[in-house]
Amino acid sequence: MSEWVIMGRIVSLFGLQGWVKVLSYTEPRTALLDYQPLYRHTAEGWLPLDLEQSRLQGKGMVAKFAGFDDRDAAAGLVQQDLGVNRDQLPAVADDEVYWADLHGVQVVTREGQVLGTISHLFDTGANDVMVVRGERERLLPFIPQVVEDVDLATGIVRVDWDPEF
């Protein structure tokens, strides 16, 4: 497991004074900015960001980070992932898992057929969905009726799923 967990992304500029639009992967979305320090992923590695201000803006969020005081300075932040060090995250219960820990995990049917590995997950509003990439891409609901076991130690998620579906 990586010591870094991606929690969001800076997606675009907002205004002229260094503000940026932020896509949060947390629930609720504003929880992303509760983590301090927050880090940005650059070619040089993970660098800390100091949050000056933030607010909800429509269906998204905007933020202003220290040292990025105009549009030109903030332009360098666009398309950078935002993350935290794993030790900043609260511990999960025995029956819980962070989505980040599922990326790259192998998905196997109860009969032992490998369907592929988890590329990513997303929320539909009704339930979470695993995107599994193997010989083809499959979308599997991450619900108890489908996911029988998650074993991060072995890197296997066992599912009740018809491989022909």
**Structural domain total, the chain:** 2
Say yes or no: 17 and 61 in one domain: yes
Residues 18 and 84 in one domain: yes
Helical ranges in the chain per DSSP H: 71-75
Mean pLDDT by 10 residues, the chain (165 residues): 87 97 90 91 96 92 97 97 93 87 95 96 90 97 96 96 92
From the number of C-beta atoms within 10 Å of its C-beta (0-12, 13-18, 19+), residue 12 rates as: middle
Asked whether residue 94 is domain-assigned, the answer is no
Q: Are residues 81 and 19 in the same domain?
A: yes
pLDDT for the residue numbered 139? 97
Q: Find, among 101, 133, 131, 130, the residue nearest to 115 by Cα.
A: 133
Residues 61 and 111 in one domain: no
**Residue 63 domain-assigned?**
yes
- Whether 140 maps to a domain, the answer reads yes
> What CATH number does residue 137 fall under?
2.30.30.240
pTM: 0.77
Does 74 lie in the same domain as 117? no
Is residue 71 a contact partner of residue 18, using CB atoms and an 8 Å limit?
yes
Q: Which domain holds residue 154?
A: 99-159
Does 119 fall in a domain? yes
Structure tokens at 71: 């549009």
Q: In this structure, what token pair is assigned to residue 46?
A: 């993970």
In a shared domain, residues 69 and 115: no
* Spatial contact of 88 and 95, defined as CB atoms under 8 Å apart: no
CA dist 3 and 100 (Å) reads: 11
Decide if 153 is inside a domain.
yes
Distance from C-alpha of 96 to C-alpha of 115, rounded to nearest angstrom: 22
Cβ atoms 142, 150 nearer than 8 A: no
Does residue 151 lie within any of the structural domains? yes
